[in-house]
Amino acid sequence: MSDATSTQNGRGLLELVRRTDPAVAMAFACIVVLLLVGSLYSANFLSPAYLLQQLKVASFLGVIATGMMLVILLGHIDLSVPWVVTTGAMMACAASSFGTLGVALAIPFGILCGVLLGLINGFGVAYMRIPAMIVTLATNAVAQGLMVVYSGGFSPVDFASPPMRYLATAFTIPGVPNAVIVWAVIGAAVVFLLTRTTFGRAIYGIGNRETAVYLSGIDTRRVVMTAFAIAGGLFAFGGVLLAGYASKAAQSMGDDYLLPAIAAVVLGGTSILGGRGSYLGTIAGVILITLLQSILSVMQVPEFGRQIIYGVVIVTMLLLYGRSPKVTS
Amino acid sequence: MSAATPLFRMEGVSKRYGGVRALEKADLTVEGGRIHAILGENGAGKSTLIKIMAGVVAPDEGRMSMEGREVAFDSPAAANRAGIVCIFQELSLIPDLSVADNIMISDPPRRFGLIDRAAQRRLAKEALARAGADEIHPASLVKDLPLSRRQMVEIAKALARKPRILILDEATSALTAADVTKVFAVLKRLREEGLALLYISHRMHEIAELADECTVFRNGRYVATYKAGTKSDNEVVEMMIGREYSHIFPDKPATISSEQAPVLECRNLSWFGRLRDISLSVRAGEVVGLGGLDGQGQRELLLALFGVLRGSSGKILVDGEPTSISSPSQAKDAKIGMALIPEDRKTEGLMLPMTVRENLSFAALDRVSRGGVVDRTEEVRLIDEMIKLLAIRTGGLDLPVGSLSGGNQQKVVIAKWLMNKPRIILLNDPTRGIDVGTKQELYQLLRKLAEGGAAIVFYSTDYDELIGCCDRVLVFYDGAIKRELAGDEITERNLVASALNIQEEGVGA
Amino acid sequence: MRDWRFWVAEQRGTLLAFGIFVVMFIIYVSNHPAGFNSNVVQTASNKAVLLAFVAMAQTLIVTTAGIDLSVGMIFTLTNCLASWIVIGAPLETAFGVMGVLATGAACGAVNGAIVIFGRLQPIVATIATGAIYFGIALALRPYPGGGVNEDLAEALTGKIFGIIPASLVVLAAVVLIVWVPYSRSALGRAAYAVGSSEVAAYMSGLPIRRAKFLAYTLSGLLASIGGLFLTFFTYTGEAALVSGNNYTLFSIAAVVLGGVSLYGGTGSAIGAIFGALAFRTIGDLLFVFDFDPLWQPLFQGVVLMLAVSLGALALLRVRNRLEWFR
């Protein structure tokens, strides 16, 4: 199964078609289907304004799913999304209330908090060899504890800084929400990281066979820890953007992003076992999930129906292209 | 046993995997009370043949019959019920369960519907005794046992199934010398009891000792069956490879002057009883072989040199300087310049789903990148160089490396390391499972690298290789170097004698 | 006799979990203002038992080298269902209980079918099915409400002979009736084998699919017992997303604390029970030491982090660095 990392620039369209991961193609096909279904319910659905709005909403999930993708490519998982997102948001807002210096440093500070939490995850997974699932759960609990202590148990009161709001809600290019540009920049950076750097090669290698990468003389532990740290930073950045969007942080703002982030990455063709997947797929997965959620709300499906349809759609799509091979020798 | 109807017969059986013909119209006849050896190169179809017999895969065409009645197996369980049991290389043991659980895994004795542990333990003890392994405690967990014990448990497990045909697929490769003797005695006794035994191995001396008749396969096709002892080793190899064969090893140069300073040296290297006081030195241009039976510490030595083992005592010197190597990334660094071709290419040397190109540059990423960013042009240049140097045959650089043949995969592993221009090359049984043609190419390559100034340490389980390729051989026994053989002293007799810790005739203690 | 030493080696995880729990409980009880009396034990037990059932359910899946992220939702779904049907005359109540248990088992079976026949990875499949089960729970109880047969509820959440909490007795009964026979059956052992090495299990001719299916179905059943008990405690059904998710995540923590390996093949539900009990006691310890409740979540998180780091101590004994990688 070829993956998009080996695509060289300047190859023809035919080559592109040959190398396209069927999963990614499926995901985009499903997006088209969803768009058609949505347009049946509301003529507005296919309007550029609405689609850009959807892209904006997708951007927040997109930034978070990017971090999740890095971790899943390694063959691990990160369950600390809920409270790392919230920590990023709350800490950025907290910094905003410290005068001009605070406002200027709010966004980096929020991201830094995420990076630190990611480092804890990374250290636990890479150096202490604790299963990622449980380390990240513990980090999530610790982050929650820290935020509860910080906020005194009350809802966060600090407001988002103007730069945060600018990133999340304003329009630098007329018509294109800033959030989308932010996602695009991050996406481009991650694609570069994954396809053109030694770090990216190491990530794919580790997801495939960490032993072989180690014996090839690469410090796999450092790579894993760094990847978790980047992921933590991205989760926190997602929280910063969300806080900018809502003008303030909220206690359980991150809860709604964990499972959709995992689902988006997997629906985009990235194998949950690691070592395989392209960022294009993650983009498709994020848009897919966002569209699905918005269609369900446009159709005014009651909450219970949304949950059921959400689950059924994910299972169906996975059955189409996410199946593991049969176990033989 | 009736002479007319054989116990088992396979006729015209074929199996294809994708476009590859693994087995083509194969025939085989198995009689009870005899040990039947199956020989062939890797890729000759032996493993496919056994998998079909053992019910692991189903054939595309052909028929199998037992005592004249046609049979077909849709799972290993079905084959077991028919009395065909296969002993793999510890692939079928469950690590987290106890020995008794493993031996009685398929059909445990029951009481009130639940597993009767007392009866199970009793039956396990009997099976272990039958296999000559009664010192293994039935309650110990398989994952806590060393490899050779696990193999014995695997044998006991097969015997507990009361087989009529027992297939052994390279089943003795991990055993200690003492265990091999015991197992052979058990197999001979089973033969007397009327069991039919199929023995797959490429160790000629084992086949010579055990087999009654031998069948050769080549390229998935049946070649010949002959009575054991009626063909010379060379004739047999010729049947296996289908062309004239003679050991072709490159010429060895005159001995390297011992005044030349060694590139790699270790003094009193020890590691938890698996390595005991190892002292050796390797000079540039030398090929030093590690001999002895499997599992005597050769692999551990290579791992220790490469920085994978922890807690070793003693000194390692590179270019005369004491060096502490604590990781492969340190070992491959230009100052030390080591490379290790690992034991198992599929799990330690390659990332099978990744492309040939990606695998090739993995150890030399620093050379093809600047500031962490990969320089594609430089990478392609170096890769092309390597592919030419090693004559790697691949359908395309962007195909997954798992699609290459075993020999070409091993070439990729070696090429990967050569891209780094190493000065010290450690090889951990590199020709295991490789076809003869590729082996010859590798021997030439090793000699060329040595002539280019590399210091090579070469562990092999094949005596011919040690004799043909090495300037010196260090024979291991129980973690220590029992004897050093140089030049003309490297003969099969000396190798075997030192490996078994027997004093050579006429040579002092 | 060397035999008991092997037994200890096999039950390492469970014994350690038991030890941790006992230590914590002693600290808790000896510092509790009311001291060691049956009421203290009963309250503690009632809270912990819920997580214990969910943890048992998770154990069954984890030992097959899978993970079930829907287990908290089965718990929630059966809670909501019970608040509808476990009500009325004794016969109706009995049918209601059976209906709840059957639903739990069915949920588990659906998970199993998707994982086994769909060949999907358990982690992603159960994310999706969890959403479906939560949706059904929400359909049953858009708002908290409903009721339950109060006599039954009181009996099962009260005390037996005035001392022993009934919930503990039920827990023990479930262990004896469900877990022990399962773990000693051939299919149960096959499930362990699958978790330990699916390839080896196949080569050994084990009934992999049947074993997994049984594990998933029983897991759903155990989660539903937990849901039933929640109804007995709260007398209502509530489809709370946060609570359901928490139970799922805490069950993973309990399972790890209980010495069950997330890689599959080892560990016992009994260990998971002690892991759950220990986990719950951590929270209670703060109350007992008069800590500001504000610090409780942080304390719980740090203790969890320390507890799971204990396993890393084994790393110090690693002599061949290749053992770091599985």
Q: Of B42, B155, B15, which is closest to residue B409 (Cα–Cα)?
A: B42
Strand, helix or coil at C236?
coil
Q: Of B457, B459, B31, B441, which is closest to residue B213 (Cα–Cα)?
A: B31
CATH number at residue C175: 1.10.3470
Please indicate whether residue B209 or residue A284 has the higher confidence score (pLDDT).
A284
Average pLDDT over residues A250-261: 89
pLDDT digits (tens, 9 = 90+) for C37-64: 777 777 778 889 999 999 999 999 999 9
Q: Of A225, A200, A197, A235, which is closest to residue A67 (Cα–Cα)?
A: A235
Residue C60 Cα to chain centre, angstroms:
9
Residue A41, both tokens: 């319910």
Q: Which residues of C touch B (CB under 8 A)?
A: 2-3, 6-7, 9-10, 181, 184-186, 189, 192-193, 195-197, 199-206, 265-266, 318-322
Does any domain span residue C325? no
Interface residue A15 vs chain B (CB under 8 A):
no
Rg (CA), chain A: 20
State the Cα–Cα distance between residues A261 and B92, nearest whole angstrom. Answer: 38
Q: What is the DSSP string of B215-234?
A: EEEETTEEEEEEETTSS-HH
Does any domain span residue C305? no
Confidence of residue B427 (pLDDT cuts 50, 70, 90): very high
Q: Which chain B positions have a beta carbon within 8 Å of C177's beta carbon? A: none
Residue B241, both tokens: 């490879």
Query: How high is the pLDDT of residue B2?
Result: 46
pLDDT for A74 beyond 60: yes
Q: Which chain B positions have a beta carbon within 8 Å of A329's beta carbon? A: 51, 56-57, 91
Does any domain span residue C55? yes
Query: How high is the pLDDT of residue B246?
Result: 62
Strand, helix or coil at C178?
helix
pLDDT digits (tens, 9 = 90+) for B452-490: 999 999 998 888 888 888 999 999 988 899 899 988 888
State the Cα–Cα distance between residues B168 and B201, nearest whole angstrom. Answer: 8
Q: Which chain B positions have a beta carbon within 8 Å of C182's beta carbon? A: none
State the Cα–Cα distance between residues B425 and B432, nearest whole angstrom. Answer: 17
Does any domain span residue C319? no
Residue C128, both tokens: 């999706």
Kindly report the backbone phi and psi dihedral angles of residue B288, in degrees, each rounded to the nearest multiple of 5, phi listed first. Answer: -105, 125
**Structural contact between residues C167 and C157, judged by C-beta atoms closer than 8 angstroms:** yes
Strand, helix or coil at A295?
helix
Query: How high is the pLDDT of residue A2?
Result: 39
Interface contact flag, B310 C319, Cβ < 8 Å: yes
Strand partners, B38: B200, B215
State the Cα–Cα distance between residues C167 and C160, nearest whole angstrom. Answer: 9
- The model's pTM is 0.88
Does any domain span residue C322? no
Among the residue ranges A267-276, B98-107, B205-214, the one predicted with the least confidence is B205-214
What is the average pLDDT score of chain B? 86
Q: Which chain B positions have a beta carbon within 8 Å of C321's beta carbon? A: 308-310, 327
Name the maximum alpha-carbon separation found in chain B: 77
Kindly report the backbone phi and psi dihedral angles of residue C148, in degrees, each rounded to the nearest multiple of 5, phi listed first. Answer: -155, 160
List of E strands, chain C:
159-160, 164-165
**Residues 31..90 of A with a Cβ closer than 8 Å to C: which?**
77, 79
Chain C residue closest in CA terms to A148: C294
Taking the CA of residue A132 and the nearest CA in chain B, the distance in Å comes to 22
Does any domain span residue C275? yes
Interface contact flag, C301 A141, Cβ < 8 Å: yes
Query: How high is the pLDDT of residue A17?
Result: 60
Confidence of residue A91 (pLDDT cuts 50, 70, 90): very high
Interface residue B185 vs chain A (CB under 8 A):
no
pLDDT digits (tens, 9 = 90+) for A44-72: 778 888 888 899 999 999 999 999 999 99
Strand partners, B63: B11
Range(s) of the domain holding residue C183: 14-29+38-285
Nearest Cβ partner for A208 among B91, B353, B374: B353
Taking the CA of residue B76 and the nearest CA in chain C, the distance in Å comes to 5
Please indicate whether residue A295 or residue B248 has the higher confidence score (pLDDT).
A295
State the Cα–Cα distance between residues A39 and A32, nearest whole angstrom. Answer: 11
pLDDT for B505 beyond 50: no
State the Cα–Cα distance between residues B271 and A248, nearest whole angstrom. Answer: 59
Residue C138, both tokens: 């929400």
pLDDT digits (tens, 9 = 90+) for A159-178: 888 888 888 888 888 878 89
Q: Give Cβ neighbours of residue B18 (< 8 Å, ≥ 6 apart).
A: none
Does any domain span residue C82? yes
**Residue matched to tokens 């001396």:** B205
Residue C145 Cα to chain centre, angstroms:
25
Query: How high is the pLDDT of residue A230?
Result: 98
Task: List all chains that touch chain A, counting a touch as 3 or more CB pairs closer than 8 Å.
Answer: B, C
Q: Which chain C positions have a beta carbon within 8 Å of A77's beta carbon? A: 123
**Reported ipTM:** 0.87
Among the residue ranges A167-171, B297-301, B421-425, the one predicted with the least confidence is A167-171
Interface contact flag, C320 B310, Cβ < 8 Å: yes
pLDDT digits (tens, 9 = 90+) for B374-401: 999 999 999 999 999 988 888 888 889 9
Confidence of residue B435 (pLDDT cuts 50, 70, 90): confident
Interface contact flag, C120 A325, Cβ < 8 Å: no
**Structural contact between residues C224 and C78, judged by C-beta atoms closer than 8 angstroms:** yes
Please indicate whether residue B273 or residue B327 has the higher confidence score (pLDDT).
B327
Cα separations in angstroms, A174 against A170, A171, A178, A262: 9, 6, 10, 32
What is the average pLDDT score of chain A? 88
Low-confidence residues of chain C, pLDDT below 50?
Answer: none
Residue B193 Cα to chain centre, angstroms:
30
Average pLDDT over residues B128-147: 88
Q: CA dihedral in degrees (C283, C285, C289, C292; nearest 10)?
A: 0
Taking the CA of residue C319 and the nearest CA in chain B, the distance in Å comes to 5
Chain A residue closest in CA terms to C298: A145
Does any domain span residue C61? yes
Q: How many domains does chain C have?
A: 1
Strand partners, C145: C237
Query: How high is the pLDDT of residue B322?
Result: 92
Q: Which chain C positions have a beta carbon within 8 Å of B144's beta carbon? A: 9
